[in-house]
Chains A and B, each alone.
Chain A
């Protein structure tokens, strides 16, 4: 005979359908989204990994100041490599309906290495056609067939493509962040390419090793050897081995990079839901104590009853996990894939069954749910059948009531309600803490980016910062020479500036003894005045040690400043060496061909802009998710407080209390707890974010200084309390519905 108790499991679930449905939907969405994320990430990562072979991605690229002749090429190829031309022209462009300004790096079609995946339309066939990067096109609202202006020619977009060596659109490998809003790569026909002329042409060569390195270490050694050999043969302007190429590797590092965070997020959610179930079941057991006592007295074992009460949460979790995974593979996978396609210029992918993702989103949540509830139920069922029958089921029985000060009656009553519901309120508090971390993260990032943008702009050295290919004089008034170079600190690349002693733009950077570092750098590496920093050259073994003399406000990047003559001396340059100009006015008298690039406010705000574009929706997702979670927790746990006290509420109704007064007794007690939990959680979440922010940001080569908009705090408080008010109104309706005869019927 099957256990007849199982018949009530279905009835229990459907009898409390509101509660179970709410938890089910929440778990379904969480599991569905994380499952979809894991499936999309692993499928896309596989597509990305395969792309190295499929699209024959380079082993590295370098640029020369001038085009290499055949002799030089064959000389270089003697170093065990095969070279391929990847020449490009960078042109300003006007794109989209709003005539957005952008820079487009234009290549010829490739047939050997770094092949192209056509995502829509076709490759350009005529001189008036261009194939644009798919993601840049999306970000600027450009479709196949649209027209864009490149330089001063109008070109028709023949198709949207993904270049295998530009899955992340980094215009410069030293940038903190790629820029898929104002920078694109594109393909034109050979004849169109030639028409652009060579003013802005970069003589970039991709290479493949004749013998592939066997591992990362060998790859690095081969790359270092090749660079030294190359530098001795020709003047290098750029050298990027594949393993250092952010445009190629950033995507691979990032896809699934949030995996651990996402999985941790899911498990925390499941654990909170498990605790919600645990306190709910405890309440059910309290309510059914005498029935349980009778069943135990009749011979039902502890195990049979534990299994019985365990069934509803396990069934709800199992269905949520299975359906969540189905939704993960169908709907949420696309959502997650779109998020990646919204950030990266990836080729097409095929969905791959991911057994590990299935285990992580099905088995592990079920195990978490099982462990938490089994521990809770076992502890509950430790008491004897007789105590169940007598309703004497508190494990830590308080012998005497806690003595309270002489508060007003209502206040003392509410304090007693709080004491009575401490386990519920602990779960509520833990849930609120987690909710506040999510909410704070969701709410802080966009203002942080906006703040960073403002700070960057207000601390710009000059409106224009020209980087020259070779020293050229200018008559532009107020143009100020500076020296700069890329060096490495702690494995990361940074820029060192030499600032003129009598600088009109950034005098505080012209430090004679020691160096000044940007506040961004000080924050990232936790450096203070007096600390020593060791810089090393990128393509050589030389090391330079400096003492931090000053920390200056320059939030946009990790930068070291010193006086220009010291720079030139320290880095073994000529006394009159310089690499560019600071200027508040545009420099008109230097030929474009001598200008490597010009940094404007658009460039400096690239990081924040790109993060806003690719992460903005994610932040809102966190925000919405946190609000739903807060509503759910408050609803379930206040519901429990009212259910627990239904008899007492009924009794005080009989005594003549009005609904409003009852709400003041029971709901106000919960209001206190919610308000206090929220305030503590907001403070604690600020601390928690501070702790997790550093490891979260450490993968970025740049840095964003943690900053909170103070207005967020009261907004968070108001959002949670507004959510609470909605729930409280629903609960007030419940109080009104509790009949007066309930107390009389249930007296035992």
Chain B
């Protein structure tokens, strides 16, 4: 099992104000799968993603990647773990405003010993023509492509996407989802994507539905459809 999550628990606050965000989450993801974490706001899906990504801590249980448990890592080792294994894409693109498209992608490439070819990736992202533009000169979709490029260029084992289409329109959202799918096919990275958009589950190999911090459904999607055919 590539990614293993066992009895993961997390709560905020104390006493009467205590809110259980994750109540004993268990699941596994195989290498190269696209796994969609689906749920409404407050269901705990982003917290779960952040714990997998090593930027938040669980109160109990563990996350293991290739058998390595993140809970046992100190901050330095955790940073190295993120550096080596993970790529992050957020709803907001968080690009560096005074670096152009290519340079923003280089920011990701710098972290890896085996980065992808940047020009090749720019073609894959459809950004080759825009590579010298600053983020402020790009559309939202292009900025999100760039942020995916920044995450994927280091060829991470896992690509973590937190509502990657949350700020985009319908067509651009589909373009971005197709891109994530293409990247998954081409480079074989495991993709874990958080979304509240029910339609997106159809492109996943694996679907985990969360509500109130617990898994309500966990199933393998036998009727997977390409991202470009999604509709909502």
Interface residues, chain A, CB within 8 Å of chain B?
A: 1-5, 7-8, 11-12, 15, 288, 290-291, 293-302, 384-386, 389, 748
Contacts and interface: CB of A to CB of B under 8 A. Distances in A.
A5 B87 CA distance: 18
Given A5-B96, A298-B86, A300-B79, 11 more contacts: A4-B99, A5-B99, A5-B107, A15-B98, A290-B94, A291-B96, A297-B53, A297-B86, A299-B82, A386-B50, A386-B55
Contacts of B106: 1, 4
A10 to B, nearest CB: 9
A3 B110 contact: yes
B86 A299 contact: yes
B94 A299 contact: no
A4 B98 contact: no
A297 B110 contact: no
Interface in B18-54: 50, 53
B99 A290 contact: no
B7 interface: no
B125 to A, nearest CB: 17
Given A3-B110, A4-B103, A4-B106, A296 B55 contact: yes
Contacts of A295: 107
A430 to B, nearest CB: 31
A1 B109 contact: yes
Contacts of B82: 297-299
A384 B79 CA distance: 11
B62 interface: no
Interface in B116-170: 147, 150-151, 154
Contacts of B109: 1, 4
B94 A291 contact: yes
Interface of B: 50, 53, 55-56, 76, 79-84, 86-88, 90, 92, 94-96, 98-99, 103, 106-111, 115, 147, 150-151, 154
16 contacts: A4-B103, A4-B106, A4-B107, A5-B96, A7-B103, A291-B94, A291-B95, A294-B94, A297-B86, A298-B108, A299-B79, A299-B82, A299-B83, A299-B86, A300-B79, A384-B55
A4 B88 contact: no
* Residue from B50, B56, B98 having most chain A Cβ neighbours under 10 A: B98
Contacts of B83: 298-301
Given A15-B98, A386-B55, A298 B90 contact: no
A298 B154 CA distance: 10
Nearest to A299: B83
A298 B150 contact: yes
A441 to B, nearest CB: 42
Question: Top 4 nearest A-B pairs by Cβ distance?
Answer: A299-B83, A4-B106, A294-B94, A299-B82
Contacts of A294: 88, 90, 94, 147
Nearest to A385: B55
Contacts of A385: 55
Contact of B92 (A3, A12, A290, A386): A290
B12 to A, nearest CB: 12
Contacts of B151: 298
Nearest to A15: B98
A3 B108 CA distance: 10
A2 B103 CA distance: 12
Nearest to B53: A297
B90 A389 contact: yes
Given A1-B110, A4-B103, A290-B92, A299 B84 contact: yes
A185 B172 CA distance: 91
A7 to B, nearest CB: 6
Contacts of B76: 301
A15 B110 CA distance: 24
Contacts of B86: 297-299
Given A4-B103, A290-B92, A385-B55, A298 B87 contact: yes
A302 B96 CA distance: 17
Contacts of A748: 92
B113 to A, nearest CB: 10
Contacts of B88: 294, 297-298
Given A298-B83, A299-B79, A12 B98 contact: yes
Contacts of A297: 53, 55, 82, 86, 88
A8 B106 CA distance: 12
A85 B56 CA distance: 90
Contacts of A5: 96, 99, 107, 110
A381 to B, nearest CB: 11
A297 B108 CA distance: 11
B94 A293 contact: yes
A295 B88 CA distance: 9
A201 B88 CA distance: 95
Contacts of A296: 55, 79
A446 to B, nearest CB: 49
B56 A4 contact: no
A591 B42 CA distance: 109
B21 to A, nearest CB: 13
B162 to A, nearest CB: 9
Nearest to A386: B55
Given A3-B110, A4-B107, A7-B103, A301 B94 contact: no
B111 A8 contact: no
A299 B55 contact: no
A389 B107 CA distance: 17
A691 to B, nearest CB: 46
Contacts of A1: 106, 109-110, 115
A17 to B, nearest CB: 13
Contacts of B94: 290-291, 293-294, 389
A450 B109 CA distance: 70
* Residue from A11, A296, A297 having most chain B Cβ neighbours under 10 A: A297
Contacts of A301: 76, 79, 83
Contacts of A2: 110
A8 B134 CA distance: 12
B55 A8 contact: no
